[in-house]
Amino acid sequence: MHIHDKNNWTDFNWDSRALLAPLGETRSLQGRLFGRIQSLGFDLKEEAILLTLTADVIKSSEIEGERLNHEQVRSSIARRLGLKASGLVPSSRNIDGLVEMMLDATQNYKQPLTAERLFGWHAALFPIGYSGLSKIEAAQYRSVPMFVVSGAAGKEKVHYEAPAAARVQWEMAFFLKWLDGCDESDPILKAAIAHIWFVLIHPLQDGNGRIARAITDMLLARGDGSPERYFSMSSRILTERKQYCAAIETVSKGDGDITKWLLWFLSCMKNAVGQSEKLLEDVLAKARFWKRIEGVGLNGRQQKMIAGLMDDFRGKLTTGKWAKMMKVSHDTALRDIQDLEQRGILRTEPEGGRSTKYSLSPPPFV
């Protein structure tokens, strides 16, 4: 028996006393991070926003088993927000759609979430009406049963069966009315409740997880009264995926007490804020680095490669990879690298192999 089989299944309840301390701690950490962000200069603040949003979009898709191109996501976000960023590249239609949905949720957080807006998000996720090779019901509520399963074909384990398709429209009308209604719920707790409620309804044939996370970000932005996002819940949910799934399954089979779910959500958000503290340190370290080497006279190729190494460079740097990425000869690439080695910016990796590998030197150079 699932929770939605019970009468008044959305009358969720929780132990307010158990939430008091973790909610206060989460708010305190969030306030401290927000204060640090506001003290940054304009350019550093923009970079922090771009890094956070890029991670959020990429990790939200990775939770669903889809890996997106980092540079395409970064470029799509930068163009849509009008941010100054170097090395922008063209982005694919599916990436643009996901970015548009995530940005609409956070940038337009004051707007009500209607069925029409929700269907617009879904259409952006599946612009041609296909999920992989399978045609789906895009921009509409599902008309088919929905099961959450795991395991190989023939050995599937059913974790949850969502409400019957005939109930979805009514369930969603009630959910959306609650979502934009006036109540005294704490904004963080409301975001947590909205997330689990939407996931339990599972109103769409695909994309429920990504849209649930977009709704969460929208409500957190409402609570902050700001579209600027400096921490990524999706990044932490990916890291804590097993605990996330277990918490949802517990609620789906429970009696409406969602205390454990709310405690997990608060812990996840606290960890997400802590993760952003590390991101902020990286942003500041980069700023100190570029300040330190002002006037050194690096060429454009060297500056571009250093910026890439500081971000999301895949694998190890070799002379061959430098030559290919910068579209120069092997000799030119080697001269660029040796110059950076002499300046103490790059170092040779101790590991052997057919090609010499390089990485950024540790502080104080980076």
Residues 208 and 132 in one domain: yes
Q: What burial class does residue 309 get, using C-beta atoms within 10 Å of its C-beta: 0-12 exposed, 13-18 middle, 19+ buried?
A: middle
Of the candidates 229, 259, 285, which is a domain's last residue? Answer: 285
For residue 322, the enclosing domain spans 301-360
Same-domain status, 121 and 256: yes
Same domain (yes/no): 326, 259: no
- Looking at the domain assignment, is residue 265 inside a domain? yes
Q: Of 239, 261, 285, which residue constitutes the final position of a domain? A: 285
Spatial distance between the Cα atoms of 71 and 88, rounded to a whole number of angstroms: 7
Residue 332 makes CB contacts below 8 A (sequence gap 6+) with 323, 326
**CATH number reported for the structural domain that contains residue 309 in this entry:** 1.10.10.10
In terms of domains, do 258 and 338 share one? Answer: no
**Strands 357-360 and 317-318, sheet pairing:** antiparallel
Mean pLDDT of 131-155: 88
Is residue 272 domain-shared with residue 310, that is, in the same domain?
A: no
Does 259 lie in the same domain as 139? Answer: yes
**Residues 264 and 356 grouped into a single domain:** no
272 and 170 in a common domain: yes
Q: What is the mean pLDDT of residues 85-114?
A: 93
313 falls in which pLDDT band (50, 70, 90)?
A: confident
Residues 159 and 82 in one domain: yes
Angle (CA) 199-202-203 rounded to 5° is 135
352 and 275 share one domain = no
pLDDT of residue 84: 81
What is the mean predicted confidence (pLDDT) over 18-45? 92
CATH code at 123? Answer: 1.10.3290.10
Decide which of 285, 310, 335 is a domain's last residue: 285
Does 37 lie in the same domain as 133?
yes
Q: Is residue 313 located within the same domain as residue 262? A: no
**Which value, to the nearest 10 degrees, does the dihedral of the CA atoms of residues 60, 65, 67, 73 take?**
-20
Q: With cut-offs at 50, 70 and 90, classify the pLDDT of residue 352.
A: low
pLDDT digits (tens, 9 = 90+) for 184-242: 789 999 999 999 999 999 999 999 999 999 999 999 999 999 999 999 999 999 999 99
Q: How many domains does the chain have?
A: 2
The DSSP string of 131-149 is ETTEE--TTS---S--EEE
Region 24-42: mean pLDDT is 91
pTM: predicted TM-score of the whole model, two decimal places:
0.84
